Amino acid sequence: MLRPRLIPCLLIHNGGLVKTVRFSDPKYVGDPINAVRIYNEKEVDELIVLDIDATVKGAEPDYRMISHLAAECRMPLCYGGGVRTIEQFDRIISLGVEKVAISAAAIENHQLITDAATRVGSQSVVVVIDVKKTGLLRQFEVVTHNGTRRTGIRPEDLAIQLADAGAGEIVVNSVDRDGQMKGYDLQLIDLIRNVVTLPLSVLGGAGSLEDLETLVKRYGIIGAAAGSFFVFKGKYRAVLINYPNRHEKDAFYKRTGFQLHR
């Protein structure tokens, strides 16, 4: 049977891997290719790599780096960062990346999603929604450009529009929970899960395997993505790339109701 996906999410800043807290204070955690090699050995389900410089600097995606990552990955790779046009989309797919994530550009222009889905198939079109609680009422709002620009859009409204436009997957990223390692924002995830049926992955807040378990028990098939949890170990946040091994993962599936075999 199909299983939920446990997905490390790596952030790239100035050519290195970093981990942020609430989208700020990037802490250097290592070299991207080296991290991919370790995740290969750990047999991760899938990998998300986001270049957090490209959109804010208005730069082209770093195709050289993307092609190195794609070649190195023995698991599916989702790349995001600075993708604004259908041509960039094509080029990244032809480098051997399975999925391309778009955010700011897709939110401004849903047609990009539709065009990309027609060319490369909707299964490869991922839209990342960064969400922050804003205003006096602390309501969920979609933000872009590493959380610096407010859009005035509600995430659940956007999710419906993205699904209609032809997105293949939505990644919901909680800015407030980023790097907190205290659990996912289930209230936010509920909002999105209740309005769309397409594959959903969530990011922001995971700090333990129990957090992932809570998520999977609540939603079933879902992409449980995490940054800090898969790169830090212990309360002093020592950098140590980690991931459940095959045995731990099978135990995880069993606890969450996904039988081992068929």
Footprint of other proteins (CB under 8 A): 1-5, 40, 43, 45-46, 67, 70-76, 93-94, 96-99, 117-124, 168-169, 193, 197-200, 219-223, 261-262
Question: Is the CB of 235 or the CB of 261 nearer to other proteins?
Answer: 261
Continuous segment of H or E residues that includes residue 82:
none
Closest distance between other proteins and the C-beta of residue 218, in Å? Answer: 11
Question: Is the CB of 221 or the CB of 239 nearer to other proteins?
Answer: 221
Question: Is the CB of 24 or the CB of 118 nearer to other proteins?
Answer: 118
Nearest to 56 by CA among 12, 115, 114: 12
Nearest to 103 by CA among 153, 63, 64: 153
Q: Which of 51, 53, 62, 130 is catalytic?
A: 130
Closest distance between other proteins and the C-beta of residue 119, in Å? Answer: 5
DSSP letter string, 117-181: HHHH-GGGEEEEEEEEEETTTTEEEEEETTTTEE----HHHHHHHHHHHT-SEEEEEETTTTTT-
> Which two three-digit tokens encode residue 13?
């800043």
Closest distance between other proteins and the C-beta of residue 71, in Å? Answer: 4
Nearest to 230 by CA among 209, 251, 249: 209
Q: Crossing angle for the helix pair 86-94 and 111-120, nearest 10 degrees?
A: 30
Q: CA of 118: how far to CAs of 90, 104, 121, 158, 206, in Å?
A: 11, 20, 6, 20, 34
Question: Is the CB of 29 or the CB of 241 nearer to other proteins?
Answer: 241
Closest distance between other proteins and the C-beta of residue 141, in Å? Answer: 24
Question: Is the CB of 52 or the CB of 222 nearer to other proteins?
Answer: 222
Known active-site residue 25: no
Question: Rg of the Cα trace of the chain?
Answer: 17
Closest distance between other proteins and the C-beta of residue 201, in Å? Answer: 9
Catalytic residues: 130
